[in-house]
Structure 1
């Protein structure tokens, strides 16, 4: 469900017809974990279900909804802390269903952490919360667009803190998890990992810093010793050109904006957030709650459509045995 005061309802309503009878594409049928009255308010045909097994029967005629009731009426653009427990509960239910094998993946609508804190939410974000719920030691954030996959090694910390906490082991861990996910989740038999430098021109042979030689190069060597096709460190200002992107399957980046700026510049509308390193499939639109435009009818569902399609494709890989 995500935050019910954000644009989640609008993009849900905008995406559902793409997968419904008139425009049916190859996608695993899905259901909403959320408030059915809230969902119905966006003009979507809704049918309450009691069990995920009902989804395939209901999906051709309506959006199946496993109910989690809101405590207060949701007002677009005005988040209400009274609804925070329902938002958190919807995530917990979805993850538990996936962990129990009753659903093949989870797609999360955007949340507002500041609102959830009022209900005792103690996590930096969705990714960290999912790690706790699934028992994953090292959840890794990947951003995916049709032309690029990026993985930031350090994520939601200041740039100063990112540089201070960047380690060889962190790069190795992110590289291992990304390598496995590209094989299992994306069906790429022999993944290629491009590893970004930290400094301008990847330090120009040490002229602009020693992190490339001291931290990044040893990580690349360790990954290669394990049979992972990692290469770099690459100058960050040239590794995202159209020609360069064809030489790798994912880019390991040293900090948040180094990864997200090129992806969002190239194709923000179709960007998808994927959490790697979990025992379940999880995708999400690559944008926030957008309270400022909620209720105005201008929210675009492209990123949610892309997230649903990607989760479905990953689930198909699971069913085909690619992941295991």
Structure 2
């Protein structure tokens, strides 16, 4: 186990990461405790949970983790050492809340955790946010009509437009559109949105240490439209103009590429980033490679934000069966990205 003296080394430079507990009826409390008890996480950052102390204590008992979960008022009250988890305890979850069941109360609480974390980030008290999964239906039942974390954080931070990036050891994907239907996604895509998305992805990779990212841009239609055989000219109308502007500005951008080969090319190392036009086009390949390895990064916010790339998993919530490594990786990536800016 890491000793206190070891964790104190570099305490002034390790970024502070707010870790939200997510939906209390799902696996959020378990993955949060698992990640914040991980010595590898503590070596990279100073994690501060935002959630419910009693629920985290229950999750620790379920996982069989011997940790001291301490309620604090804020960052200045927290002591970061092995075996201790600091939590800003909002006290919103009753002790009898069932695991694995849809709950408006849990949905509202998940919103409140994000709100507090956003306020901490805007105030500069934390350098990054890592979020455990929330349930979109519960969020709506709790009175908060947002498609998910990405849109919610954009609203809370006053950010007009952000992008979702999924990162795994083998592949990185940024999305032009995310939580909307396919017909609506095609209608929404235009050269300006494609260009802004690519630029956000390029900037994120440069910040992460890739000085000249190689970016492949997916087409909308099969075979990139096959010169008009498929679709109605969407590639030429919506994607090609953006690529021409980006190339003229010196970005290493190629496309539109047939999506069924773009991910293969990226997997063998031809591209550092793939730009997906819609949700499933980008999510599918990442999850095939390993849902436990994927990390969700919101690009374009005034603060670093990462998350696991899985849901609330109501079917196994509260059983101790969940794997917490993905949450540990999400916190580590938040710390790594925030460290560049600290």
Structure 1's 18 and 200: CA in aligned 2 closer, same or farther, altered over 3 A? Answer: same
Structure 1's 2 and 244: CA in aligned 2 closer, same or farther, altered over 3 A? Answer: closer
Confirm or deny that 1:5 pairs with 2:25: yes
Question: Hey, what's the Cα distance between the residues in 1 that align with 2:300 and 2:189?
Answer: 19
Question: Hey, what's the Cα distance between the residues in 2 that align with 1:244 and 1:269?
Answer: 17
Q: Deviating runs (4+, > 4 A) in structure 1?
A: 242-245
Match of 1:285 in 2: 308
Residues 46 and 80 in structure 2, CA contact (< 8 A), matched pair in contact too: no
TM-score of the pair, normalised by structure 2: 0.87
SS in 2 for 1:147: coil
Residues 263 and 271 in structure 1, CA contact (< 8 A), matched pair in contact too: yes
Match of 1:199 in 2: 221
Match of 2:177 in 1: 154
TM-score of the pair, normalised by structure 1: 0.92
Question: How do residues 1-324 of structure 1 correspond to structure 2 at under 5 angstroms?
Answer: 1-19=21-39, 26-43=43-60, 44-55=67-78, 57-73=79-95, 74-184=97-207, 186-209=208-231, 210-241=233-264, 245-319=268-342
Question: Hey, what's the Cα distance between the residues in 2 that align with 1:245 and 1:97?
Answer: 40
Shift in Å, 1:238: 1.1
Residues 210-253 of structure 1 show CA distances to partners (whole Å, capped at 9, x for unaligned) of: 22222211110011122222111111111112665412221111
Residues 179-205 of structure 1 show CA distances to partners (whole Å, capped at 9, x for unaligned) of: 122222x12211221101111111223
Gaps of 5+ in 1: 320-324
SS in 1 for 2:134: coil
Structure 1's 25 and 83: CA in aligned 2 closer, same or farther, altered over 3 A? Answer: closer
Question: Hey, what's the Cα distance between the residues in 1 that align with 2:291 and 2:87?
Answer: 29
SS in 1 for 2:260: coil
* Greater alpha carbon shift after TM alignment, 23-32 vs 262-271: 23-32
> Cα RMSD over matched residues?
1.7
What is the number of residues matched between the two proteins?
314
Structure 1's 289 and 26: CA in aligned 2 closer, same or farther, altered over 3 A? Answer: same
